[in-house]
Amino acid sequence: MDSIVSAASVIAAGLAVGLAAIGPGIGQGSAAANAVEGIARQPEVEGKIRGTLLLSLAFMESLTIYGLVVALSLLFANPYTG
């Protein structure tokens, strides 16, 4: 039974990192594209757009880090193994 839990933990860790990276990756690409488009339309507000973009990218990246933390806890501090 312990080997099944270990195997499931490894699969779940891979899925956690993979799925946690897909959403923010798409979001970061979309945010960067829209920021560049906004700066191209109104160059005078470049600083405001850039600041908002960097803050939103940091929040999106934190979601990926949360997925990494979940994966590492499944691999190294798994509460389901004895």
Q: State how far the Cα of 72 lies from the Cα of 82, in Å rounded to an integer.
A: 17
How many domains are there within the chain? Answer: 1
The residue segments making up the domain with residue 40 are 16-75
What φ, ψ does residue 79 adopt, rounded to 5°? -75, -10
Break the chain down into helix, strand, coil percent, rounded to 5.
90, 0, 10
* pLDDT reported for residue 13: 92
Residue 26 lies in a domain: yes
Q: State how far the Cα of 42 lies from the Cα of 16, in Å rounded to an integer.
A: 39
The pTM of the full predicted model, rounded to 2 decimals, is: 0.76
* pLDDT reported for residue 82: 66
Residues 18, 23, 24, 28: is their CA dihedral positive or negative?
Answer: positive
* Residues of the chain predicted below pLDDT 70: 1, 82
- How many residues does the structure list for the chain? 82
* pLDDT reported for residue 1: 52
Residue 31 lies in a domain: yes
Tell me the CATH number at 71.
1.20.20.10
* pLDDT reported for residue 72: 92
